[in-house]
A and B are shown apart, each in its own frame.
Chain A
Amino acid sequence: MGLTTNSEIVVRTTAEGAAGRAPLLRIQNVAKSFGKNVVLRDISLDVAEGEFLTILGESGSGKTTLLRIIAGFETASAGELWMGEERLDRQPPYRRRVNTVFQSYALFPHLTVEQNVAYGLRVAKRPEAEIVSRVGEALEKVKMSAHAKSKPSRISGGQQQRIALARALVNRPRLLLLDEPLSALDANLRRQMQVELKSLQREVGISFIFVTHDQEEAMVMSDRIALLRSGELEQVATPREIYGRPATAYAAQFIGHTNLLKGEVRGGVVRCGLLTWPAALPDGPALFSLRPENIRLAAGNVATAGRVRVRGTVRHQAFHGATELIRVECGDGMMLVVRTPGSGGPLDAVELEFSPTDAGLVRESPERI
């Protein structure tokens, strides 16, 4: 059954990802429903010490709910959370050594920047001298010392974001949760903050769980990506792995562009429309993912050895600057998307080529409600 294989794969990848180190956080069979509405189903996931893990998913996939369960704002309907020997899900939010950077930042409007950052230390009743020096350090680290006395409403969105980070990190949590912290920023600032955030994480060495719906952001920043779909984990792997070897059709489509080829295997040969290539697979229907950049426009009439070759008609060309996306119809209604480094102008009839090894087998992603 599809689902059993799925969780087997998940467990295996998890173990590989955290190789050799005891996990910092262990999420075991967590489920959550609001009334009849099932939001999360049997989630198991380990987070390693010092890891940057991204939970990636569309809106409504349950990613924020999972984060809120870890933070303690929601109670899981089933399952356990372990941090070392401690049962985390039995602790109220204020006793967890986990801090959160909120999507809206949730800076306290009635407190200054400095008082915001000091909040956690104040309620923990740390000595005032220690508070002053730690708050100073934290502001220094996010380059916001100059704004210490400002009210949050007086600083820009990007600056508010840094303060939210400083306010969380100053408490030296073992795990930092970030709920789409960059979504409110404009594109340029967002790219800049991605880099800063990543290097900050390397510097402090704290595990980050980063929630986003932006697959590009996930690829750029993460050590590992946990792809969530309709409340279930679709795949957990490094960015390279999840891009190069997507486990499912959904993962292949959600992360980057892809061509999904529905074929039939018979006697070690895949047949897919007009295309055929050899594959050591059992007989039966099979689904393949072929990335657009793995198809190239071929010159000459002779196929390169070991490559699949097909002739087609260009239906649409979209210029993207460094690359160009071309939609090619290859007979039988099959449409292939090709990414080339620039075609030089309008095209009509083309010859396409790809290597069979680039056509990766993926599982079907059944519809879920």
Chain B
Amino acid sequence: MFSRAYKAAVTLPPLVWVTVFLLLPYLLMFCYSFWSVSESQTIVHSWNFANYGELLRVDVYWQTLLRSMWIAARVTIFSLVLGYPLAYFLSFYAGNKKDLLYQLVIIPLWVSYLVRAYAWKTILGSTGVLNTLLQYVHLTKHPLEFLLYSPFAVVLTLTHIYTPFAFLPIYAALEHIPRNLVEASHDLGATPGQTFWKVIFPLSIPGVVAGATFAFVLSLGDFLAPLLLGGPSGIMISNIVVSLFGAAYNWPLGAAISFCMLLLVVSLLVFSERLEKKWSFS
């Protein structure tokens, strides 16, 4: 029913824009990763694999990448552990308070990411809210130093930030489960526990996969929380990229790391898309 002119009119402008401002920059990043920097701090447009070689050779790069993935994995697990039961409670037991509670989960997302990370910093610091509270009630004599400037602080903050992201797709998946399936399962003699593990959980897997992907990918690329709360032991891969693009002035090497991250993220997305498809039955 839509004419060719209509289709062209809606397709071409976004296609051109996206090509110039998304596709082209990614390709440029790819190009940069083969270039190098001269002594006089200019970009040399010669093509070689030196940057990728360095990534493999220098321990700190791939070790940091592994540590980032480990941090992201912990964030993902904690977000799911916090988010799934919350979503399940809201979807199945919250009754008429469902909408209100749902909004309550969303609202923290409207508070600036930066501000929430900063708030954690004021809570976890050696003169922060938590330590002074513990001393105030005489649980500790000296401030607990491991709370701030540690991977712990980064994982805690990122879990706080990405739990709602993990919650949202899980909740959506649970809401899509027809309630008569649960009734049918009870009717056929399954206990509530059996009903959950045999009916509800399998049907919610696409939501879990989507939520896990969100939490993992977004926390993997984070560089602000580590800068703010991580300390030297909480440094993540993006912090290295930031310094390569800043003070260290080695854009090509930074581009190589970024491009590896891009590949990692895209392959994760493709993988999770497959997984979601496999577990969706509608």
Contact = CB atoms under 8 A, between A and B. Distances in A.
A92 B1 CA distance: 9
A93 B3 CA distance: 10
5 contacts: A72-B1, A73-B1, A74-B1, A92-B3, A93-B1
Nearest to A93: B1
Interface of A: 72-74, 92-93
Interface in B1-41: 1, 3
Contacts of A93: 1
Interface string B218-234: 00000000000000000
Contacts of B1: 72-74, 93
Interface of A is mostly: loop
Nearest to A92: B3
Nearest to A71: B1
A177 B21 CA distance: 47
A92 B3 CA distance: 8
Nearest to B6: A92
A92 to B, nearest CB: 6
A66 to B, nearest CB: 15
A361 B3 CA distance: 48
Contacts of A72: 1
A8 to B, nearest CB: 34
Nearest to A75: B1
A16 to B, nearest CB: 35
A128 B1 CA distance: 30
A74 B2 CA distance: 9
A27 B3 CA distance: 22
Contacts of A92: 3
Q: What are the 5 A-B residue pairs with the smallest beta carbon separation, nearest first?
A: A73-B1, A92-B3, A74-B1, A93-B1, A72-B1
Contacts of B3: 92
Nearest to B5: A92
Contacts of A73: 1
B14 to A, nearest CB: 24
A87 B1 CA distance: 18
A84 B177 CA distance: 55
Nearest to B2: A73
B33 to A, nearest CB: 43
B128 to A, nearest CB: 53
A92 B4 CA distance: 11
A368 to B, nearest CB: 27
A92 B5 CA distance: 12
A94 B3 CA distance: 12
Contacts of A74: 1
Nearest to B1: A73
B21 to A, nearest CB: 34
B199 to A, nearest CB: 34
A305 to B, nearest CB: 63
A279 B163 CA distance: 85
B188 to A, nearest CB: 35
A74 B1 CA distance: 6
A104 to B, nearest CB: 16
B4 to A, nearest CB: 11
Interface string B39-70: 00000000000000000000000000000000
Nearest to A72: B1
A103 to B, nearest CB: 15
A135 B257 CA distance: 67
